[in-house]
Structure 1
Amino acid sequence: METGKVTGKKPNVILITSDHHRWDYMGCAGAVGVKTPNLDLLAARGTLITRTYCNAPLCVPSRIAITSGRYPMNTGCFTNRHPIHPHTPTFLHALRGNGYHTAMIGKLHHHVHVWDGDFIAHEADIHQLGFEHVHETSGKMGSGSIGCECQYTRFLREQGLLEAYRSWTGRFRQGNATMLPNEAWPWDQKYTQDAYIARKASEFLLQVSPDKPFYLHLGFVGPHDPYDAPQSYRNLYDNEKAGMPEEHIPAAPLTNVQRMEYNKLLAYKACITEVDSQIGRVLDTLKASGLQDDTVILYTSDHGDNAGDHGMWGKINLYEGSVHVPFIAAGPGIGQGVVSDAIVELIDIGQTVCNFTGCESHHYDQGKSMMPLLLGTTQQHRKDAFCEMGSDKMLYDGRYKLMYGDLTRDTRTELQAAPYHGPAFGRPVNLPPDRISLYDLLKDPYEQHNLADDPVYHEILAEMKEKLLIRLLCNMQAVPDDVGSVL
């Protein structure tokens, strides 16, 4: 293990985000049967933080928390229909004020994708957040929606593939989506959205001015469903039982439903490997351009994927597969070959970037810089991790995990039923009178045994409730006199 030293030169920073990548599906995280050679190499020359949590298990609220540095209860962004206000203060403004060129390429997902989805017409909104260079794409399903226009749909139109692509993705919207086959990408793999994003990122790195430091948010769309990795990646997982824990494999021949679930899981892993491959392409370009030694690289995902845990796919709930995400950091000053079990939240990214680049984020940023942790000057970061999905709340203190809310309910329907009129300062921060769950993740990492009703754990339950209440009170921000100043 090597800890680093910071040089006086302002480093470049690349924040790489994926979509739906659960924390334990990387080789460097100990996953069996998940092939991520490029992320493994990045972790080997950097620091892997094994207890990183998103602040909302859904795309838009999680991503807005990263950019704004504020919890969803304060931004009012709880679902994918609650967009960020373009005047929201972000750490990007501080970077620009410190002489940085700011860019975003790929999926940012700070506003509605399905309707009124003209990303190019709304590009000015992204500029107002602090990005100078913008090359935004929608996700897999968004790009296939009628009415969505983004850089990737323009590319597909130029290739004569847009209508065929929309027809193909439309099939995944019909009927029970959880039971649909996850088919391989049917065209040349150079046309996948993640391949396109990697190509544009590489072009940016080859053209960027060496006289000005840059910050790049590089957003890949995988491994979000549909799990449609090209066949070359699926071939790496050609055994329907590959990578399955032995206790999960039935001795008898698989039923049709079991086979479908196994194939779906392998298709998900193939999508992770595709993203890993595209990350490798970008990192190769970074090295070839001579920028690697001066660049801090951060990798994470907006949230995870249950991937069959608890009989569920996707996110929205507060189980580990949904809220526990990967985090890798590498670059000048960052410890090499370090595996840290410190508790980190994604909301900490903005303050961390500002700390490395020598500037200060805005006054309302609620994150905590990870720089001391990444430099090896401390081994601890947070006492606990907080996550929320509307009124459903979660707190993890390093051993015990408390969840308030009905974990089987999709809260998006209820949250989206209420009209949205901008930032919501009347926030649903009350503890809901729903199901309470308490898990000992040290003894029960797969969250199979709810201890909330066990008399032996009543004292611990009371302590966790108190910790959660304290976090809620600490997280809430007072409404300022000038509400518009912190939208």
Structure 2
Amino acid sequence: MKSILLITLASFVLVHSSFAAKPNVLFLFADDFTYEAVRAFGHTDIDTPNIDRLAARGTNFTRAYNMGSWSGAVCVASRTMLNTGRSVWDAGAVYKETDKERQSGVLWSQLMSKAGYKTYMTGKWHVPTDATKIFDMAMDVRPGMPKTVPTSYDRPIAGQTDSWSPYDKSLGGFWEGGKHWSEVVNDHTITFLNDAKQQEKPFFIYAAFNAPHDPRQAPKEFQDMYPLSRIKVPENFIPEYPYKDAIGCSEKLRDEHLAPMPRTEFAVKTHRSEYYALITHLDVQIGKILDALDANGQADNTWIFFTADHGLAVGHHGLIGKQNMYDHSVRVPFIVAGPGVAKGAKNDNAIYLQDVMATALDLAEADKPQHFFFHSLRPLLNGTQKQSSYDSVYGAYLDLQRAITHDGWKLIAYPKAKVLRLYHLAEDPQEMTDLAAKPAHAALKQQMFERLVKLSADLGDQVNLQTVFKE
């Protein structure tokens, strides 16, 4: 009996010590946060001192993408991919049955739990299964976006009184409940860190901010930081995108309905001002979380990931929302900091933002189900892998848009409009010069199209581009 007890005790100690040796994972997730809205990355029209210091202590992946969406709510697709590990059309096929994925125990948090982690969640979820059933602790699980009011749409119009204000708490939205939602996520995350300090298990924290999604509401002191005189209109600003109706981005789309159409410089500057104010307010909350992590003595054994579910146009190309294939809407910031991660570094390899899930599972030494599409970033971070795991980057929106990015070029296809657009990203990062009609680029356009057709088929895309563009 004594021998059995000693063996049992030794086994417990061995398992416990293996759990304790695993690093913590802190996942900071934003909503509608374009890759360009970080000062450390050269965008000096915005202030993000805390995201900047996170970038200084880690590695920035400069080309992080979302694959697209089967839904007008692009965040739904992005978050379903993130938590299931499935590629866009595979995730779309199981979206309505995500609860079956939960019952099978294959969602991200469940796999982390099986690997010995205590799991925490707060903020935006937007996945059709109960977050409280798959995290050990879940607080203030939020819907897709804060409630808004009619006066937040089709505004502002020059010369007319704007009855909507980003700091009017009576309008609800981010102010619903009495405290700004970004501050609530900050409070809960610090509560989680304090609880985790008392635990023997490593922690996995999924802190999902609704910011900077509209309604873009921030305290007045943050809004005052961004007078219109400070705001620049994007270089690729146009009053109206020529194919907006055929690609599903007419004024009927909720996101595009936020600003008057045709767009005006005044309206775009106003929306960008409010967008930046909400981001800087979010940045302060991230700073408080980083401070708490440091103060608790947990930083040395914690991997921190900061990214977002997709980007946002906010006036680029005559668009306001994220339902398009341009870089401002499909690319996101992606920062990794942790033990052994190069500080102040950047990596230009193309990744998908959902690679964060595969990376966390790799760190946790967790089992990865066979249906997983995404890849761990650890080989890119430690130098054992030099090239991206993806030969080309795929993008899609409903059955109305497709895109492929490869070797510094991007081809966008609009099946309904029967239009192809070709951009040389290396020379034209703002995607302002469409080269699709240029005879000198005909062969390249065809090669890109064929590459897109093959990748679409490999991913289970139901739109047959070859048939569409032969008609």
Q: TM-score band, normalised by the shorter chain?
A: 0.7 to 0.9
**Residue 241 of structure 1: CA displacement?**
2.6
**Residue 291 of structure 1: CA displacement?**
1.0
**Residue 243 of structure 1: CA displacement?**
4.7
- Report the CA distance shift for 1:30/1:96 in structure 2 as closer, same or farther (over 3 A): same
Distance 2:234 2:76 in 1: 36
**Residue 360 of structure 1: CA displacement?**
2.7
Cross-structure match for 2:466: none
**Residue 34 of structure 1: CA displacement?**
0.8
The superposition leaves residues 138-170 of structure 1 with CA deviations (integer Å, 9 ceiling, x where unpaired) of 35x8443xxxxxxxxxxxxxxxxxxxxxxxx32
Cross-structure match for 2:79: 63
> 2:45 corresponds to which letter in structure 1?
G
Q: Verify the 8 A CA contact 1:202 1:282 in the aligned structure 2.
A: yes
The superposition leaves residues 200-228 of structure 1 with CA deviations (integer Å, 9 ceiling, x where unpaired) of 11111111233101111110011111221
Distance 2:229 2:180 in 1: 27
Distance 1:196 1:93 in 2: 24
- Report the CA distance shift for 1:231/1:131 in structure 2 as closer, same or farther (over 3 A): same
The superposition leaves residues 306-341 of structure 1 with CA deviations (integer Å, 9 ceiling, x where unpaired) of 010011111111111111111000011211111111
Cross-structure match for 2:16: none
Q: Verify the 8 A CA contact 2:231 2:272 in the aligned structure 1.
A: no
1:135 aligned to 2:139? Answer: yes
Q: 1:12 aligns with which of 24, 29, 51?
A: 24
- Report the CA distance shift for 1:353/1:260 in structure 2 as closer, same or farther (over 3 A): same
1:125 aligned to 2:133? Answer: no
**Residue 245 of structure 1: CA displacement?**
6.8
Q: Verify the 8 A CA contact 1:347 1:366 in the aligned structure 2.
A: no
Cross-structure match for 1:309: 316
**Residue 178 of structure 1: CA displacement?**
7.3
Q: Which moved more, 1:177-186 or 1:326-335?
A: 177-186
Higher-Rg member (1/2): 2
Distance 1:94 1:100 in 2: 9
> 2:210 corresponds to which letter in structure 1?
V
Q: TM-score, normalised by structure 2?
A: 0.78
- Counterparts in 2 of 1:41-52, with a 5 A limit? 41-52=53-64
More RCO (CA 8 Å, sep 6+):
1
1:103 aligned to 2:120? Answer: yes
Q: 2:460 aligns with which of 469, 476, 484?
A: 476
Cross-structure match for 2:91: 75
Q: Which moved more, 1:84-93 or 1:11-20?
A: 84-93
Distance 2:281 2:164 in 1: 15
- The alignment of Structure 1 onto Structure 2 pairs a total of residues equal to 398
Q: Which moved more, 1:259-268 or 1:217-226?
A: 259-268
**Residue 8 of structure 1: CA displacement?**
9.1
**Residue 259 of structure 1: CA displacement?**
2.8
Distance 1:181 1:52 in 2: 37
Cross-structure match for 1:185: 167
- Report the CA distance shift for 1:336/1:192 in structure 2 as closer, same or farther (over 3 A): same
Distance 1:338 1:245 in 2: 29
The superposition leaves residues 70-114 of structure 1 with CA deviations (integer Å, 9 ceiling, x where unpaired) of 122112269xxx656212232333212111112211112114xxx
- Counterparts in 2 of 1:40-439, with a 5 A limit? 40-56=52-68, 58-76=74-92, 83=96, 85-88=98-101, 89-111=106-128, 125-128=130-133, 130-138=134-142, 142-144=145-147, 169-172=148-151, 176=154, 183-187=165-169, 191-208=179-196, 209-238=198-227, 240-244=228-232, 257-381=264-388, 382-391=390-399, 392-405=401-414, 434-439=418-423
Distance 1:346 1:246 in 2: 25
Q: Verify the 8 A CA contact 1:436 1:452 in the aligned structure 2.
A: yes
- Report the CA distance shift for 1:298/1:446 in structure 2 as closer, same or farther (over 3 A): same
Distance 1:221 1:245 in 2: 25
Q: TM-score, normalised by structure 1?
A: 0.76
Distance 1:395 1:181 in 2: 42
Distance 1:350 1:294 in 2: 18
Distance 1:271 1:97 in 2: 36
Give the match's secondary structure for 1:333.
Answer: coil
Distance 2:412 2:270 in 1: 31
> 1:443 corresponds to which letter in structure 2?
E
Q: Which moved more, 1:89-98 or 1:41-50?
A: 89-98
- Report the CA distance shift for 1:24/1:247 in structure 2 as closer, same or farther (over 3 A): closer
Distance 2:404 2:412 in 1: 7
Distance 1:246 1:136 in 2: 36
Distance 2:226 2:30 in 1: 21
**Residue 468 of structure 1: CA displacement?**
1.5
Q: How high is the sequence identity, in percent, across the aligned residues? A: 28
**Residue 65 of structure 1: CA displacement?**
0.9
- Report the CA distance shift for 1:432/1:364 in structure 2 as closer, same or farther (over 3 A): farther
Q: Verify the 8 A CA contact 1:399 1:442 in the aligned structure 2.
A: yes
> 1:399 corresponds to which letter in structure 2?
G
Give the match's secondary structure for 2:68.
Answer: coil
Distance 1:23 1:376 in 2: 24
The superposition leaves residues 272-294 of structure 1 with CA deviations (integer Å, 9 ceiling, x where unpaired) of 11111111111111111111111
- Report the CA distance shift for 1:247/1:56 in structure 2 as closer, same or farther (over 3 A): closer
> 1:358 corresponds to which letter in structure 2?
E
Distance 1:235 1:312 in 2: 25
**Residue 244 of structure 1: CA displacement?**
2.2
Q: Verify the 8 A CA contact 2:233 2:268 in the aligned structure 1.
A: no
- Report the CA distance shift for 1:247/1:436 in structure 2 as closer, same or farther (over 3 A): closer
Distance 2:234 2:372 in 1: 45
- Report the CA distance shift for 1:93/1:362 in structure 2 as closer, same or farther (over 3 A): farther
Distance 1:12 1:274 in 2: 26
Distance 1:213 1:394 in 2: 40
Distance 2:20 2:184 in 1: 35
